[in-house]
Amino acid sequence: HLERFNPAVMALKGVLKNPQFIESHRLAPFKTRGTDVNVVLDLMIHDIDILLSMVPHPMKAINSVGVPVLSEEVDIANARLQFENGCVANVTASRASRETMRKMRIFQQDAYISIDFQSREIAIYKKKKGLTL
């Protein structure tokens, strides 16, 4: 998928170590284009692809829910992915949003990483060495 080549995703190399919690939101205003498939195949699939490349561990459990609100297909969906290594990812996709949002937040032992796929920007907040919280 093309998002793997987004400069913000490529900037993760060397920074991403062992994600513990990942949260993604891929939201868009309703358009009739793409309503022949559900929002998971239309939008969420991009974030799932990125997640699977970031967390190279087997899946332990998946819980999901989706509802149609503006079309015959699922328009809003949420999935909670649990990996064998303990990482949890909460993924939300919607095509019933007022504004477009393409963001992912990654939490790991030493850093919080925020990715904006739309603006192709990444922000990295690192814990200072020796700092205990």
- 115-118 — which CB contacts under 8 Å span 24+ positions? 115/8, 115/9, 115/12, 116/8, 117/3, 117/6, 117/8, 117/9, 117/26
Residue 129 pLDDT exceeds 90: no
Superfamily of domain 2-126: Dihydrodipicolinate Reductase; domain 2 (3.30.360.10)
| pLDDT level of residue 1 (50, 70, 90 thresholds) | low
Q: Where in the chain are the domains?
A: 2-126
- For residues 53, 56, 59 and 62, what is the CA-based torsion angle, rounded to 10 degrees? -30
Average pLDDT over residues 43-56: 95
**pLDDT given at position 133:** 52
- The pTM for the full model equals 0.90
Q: Are 118 and 100 in contact (CB under 8 A)?
A: yes
Residue 36 pLDDT exceeds 90: no
Q: Where are the alpha helices (DSSP H) in 1-133?
A: 7-10, 39, 45-54
Q: What is the DSSP string of 18-52?
A: --SEEEEEEE----STTTTS-HIIIIIHHHHHHHH
Residue 130 pLDDT exceeds 80: no
**pLDDT given at position 103:** 98
| Residue that wins the pLDDT comparison between 34 and 6 | 6
**pLDDT given at position 33:** 80
pLDDT, one tens digit per residue, over 62-93 is 999 999 999 999 999 999 999 999 999 999 99
Two tokens, residue 90? 């909460």
**pLDDT given at position 132:** 58
Average pLDDT over residues 87-110: 97
Tokens 């994600």 appear where?
Answer: 19
**pLDDT given at position 3:** 84
Q: Which amino acid is at 34?
A: G
